[in-house]
C-alpha cells in the first residue's frame, strides 16, 4: 500500500471515529432559519427564557440545548445547509427544525418534501414569517403579499406602541415584545384555527395562502417554560 493510500485510509478512520463518538442528545433542538434577522431573533428570545427558567434549576437533569442558525438563503439551499450543519455537529440532535417562507421561491413545496424525507421538521409560512407575527395581534385568512403584511405590522406596532412604533426585522427583543398581553398564545390559537382546514396529504403548502406551521415549533419550545418542566 502506497503512502497516499495509507494516508487516505487513516483519514477515513478518523472521520469514522469522530462520527461514532457523537451521542444523541435528549431535549436538543437545531433550528435553521431562512432569514438572518427576524426569525433567529424571535427564537433566541425563547432560548433565553428557557435558559433563565430551566438552566438554574437543580432538579433538571438535562438542560435543553437550543442551537439557532440564521442562514439567509433560499428554501432548497436551506435544506442542504441544514444537512451540512447536522453532519458537522458534535451531537445528534433530537429535533431538527427548518424555518422558511414561500416568498417567491418556486421550490417551496419541493423543499418541504425534501426536508421531511430527511427527517427534519418544517416550520413554513406562506407567504412570509410576518404572517405568523401578525397572528400575535389578530386572526386573518386574507391572502396578502408579504409587503402588505409588513404594512399591517407597522399599524400594529404603532397602535400598541411597540419598539419605535414601526415594525423592523432587527428588534433584539422581538419575542417578548410580541408576547405582551399573551400574544404568543394568541398567535398559536390563531394559527391552529387557520390550519384546521389544511390537509397535508391532499394540499400543497404553496396553495394555502395564508398559512403557517411555525406554531408547532413554538409549542415544542414553550413546553420548557411551563411549571411542570423536568
Q: What is the pTM of this model?
A: 0.86
- Look at residue 13 and tell me if it is in a domain: no
Domain interval for residue 210: 27-225
- Look at residue 120 and tell me if it is in a domain: yes
Question: Residue 97 and residue 120: Cα distance in Å, rounded?
Answer: 6
- Look at residue 152 and tell me if it is in a domain: yes
- Look at residue 5 and tell me if it is in a domain: no
Give per-residue burial for 176-189: e unless 16+ CB within 10 Å, then b. ebbbeeebbebbbe
- Look at residue 90 and tell me if it is in a domain: yes
Q: Which three cell numbers stand for residue 26?
A: 435528549
Per-residue pLDDT of the chain (230 residues; tens, 9 = 90+): 555 555 555 566 555 544 455 677 888 999 999 888 999 999 999 999 998 887 655 444 456 889 998 877 778 889 999 999 999 999 999 999 999 999 877 889 999 999 999 999 999 999 999 999 999 999 999 999 999 999 999 999 999 999 999 999 999 999 999 999 999 999 999 999 999 999 988 999 999 999 999 999 999 999 999 865 44
- Look at residue 14 and tell me if it is in a domain: no
Domain count, the chain: 1
- Look at residue 81 and tell me if it is in a domain: yes
Question: Residue 129 and residue 102: Cα distance in Å, rounded?
Answer: 9
- Look at residue 189 and tell me if it is in a domain: yes
Provide the 3-class DSSP secondary structure of residue 9: helix
- What are the CA-CA distances from residue 223 to residues 34, 41, 75, 209 (Å)? 24, 19, 28, 28
Q: Which three cell numbers stand for residue 150?
A: 409588513
Amino acid at each position: 500500500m502506497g503512502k497516499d493510500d495509507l494516508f487516505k485510509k487513516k483519514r477515513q478512520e478518523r472521520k469514522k471515529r469522530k462520527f461514532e463518538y457523537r451521542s444523541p442528545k435528549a431535549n436538543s433542538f437545531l433550528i435553521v432559519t431562512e432569514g438572518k434577522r427576524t426569525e433567529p431573533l424571535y427564537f433566541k428570545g425563547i432560548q433565553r427564557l428557557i435558559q433563565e427558567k430551566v438552566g438554574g434549576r437543580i432538579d433538571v437533569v438535562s438542560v435543553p440545548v437550543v442551537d439557532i442558525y440564521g442562514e439567509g438563503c433560499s428554501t432548497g439551499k436551506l435544506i442542504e445547509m441544514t444537512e451540512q450543519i447536522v453532519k458537522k455537529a458534535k451531537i445528534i440532535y433530537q429535533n431538527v427544525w427548518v424555518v422558511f417562507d414561500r416568498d417567491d421561491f418556486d421550490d417551496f413545496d419541493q423543499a418541504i418534501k425534501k426536508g421531511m424525507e430527511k427527517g427534519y421538521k418544517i416550520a413554513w409560512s406562506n407567504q412570509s414569517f410576518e404572517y405568523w407575527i401578525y397572528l400575535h395581534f389578530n386572526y386573518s385568512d386574507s391572502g396578502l403579499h408579504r409587503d402588505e403584511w409588513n404594512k399591517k405590522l407597522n399599524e400594529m406596532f404603532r397602535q400598541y406602541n411597540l419598539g419605535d412604533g414601526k415594525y423592523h426585522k432587527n428588534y433584539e427583543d422581538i419575542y417578548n415584545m410580541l408576547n405582551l398581553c399573551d400574544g404568543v398564545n394568541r398567535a398559536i390559537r390563531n394559527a391552529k384555527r387557520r390550519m384546521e382546514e389544511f390537509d397535508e396529504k391532499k394540499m400543497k403548502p404553496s396553495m394555502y395562502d395564508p398559512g403557517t406551521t411555525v406554531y408547532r415549533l413554538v409549542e415544542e419550545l414553550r413546553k420548557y417554560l411551563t411549571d411542570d418542566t423536568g
